[in-house]
Amino acid sequence: GDSVTQMEGPVTLSEEAFLTINCTYTATGYPSLFWYVQYPGEGLQLLLKATKADDKGSNKGFEATYRKETTSFHLEKGSVQVSDSAVYFCALSDKDQGAQKLVFGQGTRLTINP
Amino acid sequence: EAQVTQNPRYLITVTGKKLTVTCSQNMNHEYMSWYRQDPGLGLRQIYYSMNVEVTDKGDVPEGYKVSRKEKRNFPLILESPSPNQTSLYFCASSLSFGQGGTYNSPLHFGNGTRLTVT
């Protein structure tokens, strides 16, 4: 079945550092890809999405590009802030499977130190 | 304010004592779903509902029940909770997820219910 693999956390960076969180996926169809963010004590919020190959999703300085050839959707940000500390989830939905769900990765906890 | 509301936020119970976690959304969303979040496993879908009176199993439905009698509510029922159901539970809704074969509509999540079964 479909699956999503994220880089192991936790990830700790200093403020203004460059961030990459790796995400690769396995899907039999042609999925849409998402990054969700979970701040402490809250539910998940959509951060960005991409629906077809070579699409770039972006929001709040974060970017991710849908790479079909490498089945990847890595999350990047050029200069992180303390307020970016959260858990980040990569996810896919695969319409060819007819699945009525998102498939999530295991999450990557990010801590930014001032 | 558009939101998904879950109650309670925290619940400690004992094995075998029936409980219900409520979920309500005020956005007139068709699609609703329950997930559980466990360390190292991410979120796994328990049940989902495409519309009123339409529910279906997700990946981990054993030990859970749901109902969708009204569009806004989607309660999760544990008839006889066991310790392996100790987890963080999230309800989510979406305007059009899965409608017409499209899966781009974002999910809106509640703030979660942390359940402990002893």
- CA closest to B88 among chain A residues: A43
Please give the residue of chain A at the shortest CA–CA distance from B5: A43
Q: Within 10 Å of residue B70's Cβ, how many Cβ atoms?
A: 10
Q: How far is CA B17 from CA A2, A20, B83, B90, B116, in A?
A: 35, 45, 11, 21, 12
What's the pLDDT tens digit per position in A93-111? 876 555 567 889 999 999 9
B107 touches chain A (CB under 8 A): yes
Tens-place pLDDT, residues A59-96:
999 999 999 999 999 999 999 999 999 999 999 987 65
User: A32-38 and A44-50 as β-strands: parallel, antiparallel, unpaired?
Assistant: antiparallel
Q: B13 — phi, psi (to 5°)?
A: -140, 180
Residues A35, B97, B8, B26: what is their CA dihedral angle, to the nearest 10 degrees? 120
d(CA A38, CA A40): 7
Mutate to test the interface with B, among A32, A88, A96, A101 (most CBs of B within 10 A): A101
- Residue A96 is predicted with a pLDDT of 58
Average pLDDT over residues A35-59: 93
